[in-house]
C-alpha cells in the first residue's frame, strides 16, 4: 500500500463537520471510481502533534503509485463531478502539507543480500 497524507487546518469560520462531509464526498467519489482503495480523516487530539502539521489529517490508501497516478490524473482533468468535490475540500483549508509513505518492508523486498 502507498499512503498519501494531507495535513491541513481549516480556514477561519469553516465548521469541522462541514469539512468532514466535504472530505467524505470527495474521497468516496474517488473510491467508487476505483481511484483509491480507502481513506481516513483524523483530527489532532489534545493539541498534540508536530509543529507545522495541521489539525486535520487525511490518509489516502492506494495499491501502488500507478493507482495514485490515475487518481491524480482523474482530478487534474478538472471535469465534473470530481472538480466540484475537489474544490469543495480545497476551498475550506489552508496550510496544507503533503507526504507519501509506503508499507514497509515492501512486498518485493528480499532479505539477506543487501549491500547497504
Q: How many C-alpha atoms does 96 have within 13 Å on its Cβ side?
A: 12
Query: Does 110 score more than 90 pLDDT?
Result: no
Question: CB neighbours of 86 closer than 8 A, spacing ≥ 6?
Answer: 26, 75
Is pLDDT larger for residue 27 or for residue 106?
Answer: 27
**How would residue 109 be classed by pLDDT, with cut points 50, 70 and 90?**
confident
Q: Dihedrals φ, ψ of 30, to 5°?
A: -60, -40
| Residue 4 per-residue DSSP state | E
Q: What is the CATH number of domain 2-102?
A: 3.30.70.100
Q: How far is CA 49 from CA 17, 35, 46, in A?
A: 21, 29, 9
Say how far apart CA 104 and CA 67 lie, in whole Å. 18
Query: Does 116 score more than 90 pLDDT?
Result: no
**How would residue 37 be classed by pLDDT, with cut points 50, 70 and 90?**
very high
All 3 cell numbers of residue 116? Answer: 547497504
Domain boundaries, the chain: 2-102
Q: Where are the beta strands (DSSP E) in the chain?
A: 2-10, 38-43, 56-62, 93-102
Bridge partners (DSSP) listed for residue 82: none
Is pLDDT larger for residue 116 or for residue 2?
Answer: 2
Predicted TM-score (pTM) of the model is 0.91
Amino acid at each position: 500500500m502507498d499512503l498519501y497524507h494531507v495535513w491541513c487546518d481549516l480556514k477561519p469560520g469553516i465548521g469541522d463537520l462541514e469539512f468532514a462531509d466535504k472530505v467524505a464526498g470527495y474521497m468516496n467519489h474517488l473510491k467508487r471510481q476505483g481511484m483509491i482503495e480507502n481513506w481516513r480523516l483524523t483530527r489532532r487530539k489534545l493539541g498534540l502533534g508536530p509543529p507545522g502539521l495541521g489539525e486535520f489529517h487525511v490518509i489516502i490508501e492506494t495499491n501502488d503509485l500507478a493507482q495514485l497516478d490515475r487518481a491524480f490524473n482523474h482530478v487534474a482533468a478538472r471535469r465534473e463531478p470530481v472538480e466540484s468535490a475537489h474544490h469543495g475540500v480545497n476551498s475550506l483549508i489552508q496550510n496544507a502539507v503533503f507526504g507519501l509513505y509506503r508499507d514497509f518492508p515492501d512486498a518485493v523486498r528480499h532479505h539477506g543480500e543487501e549491500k547497504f
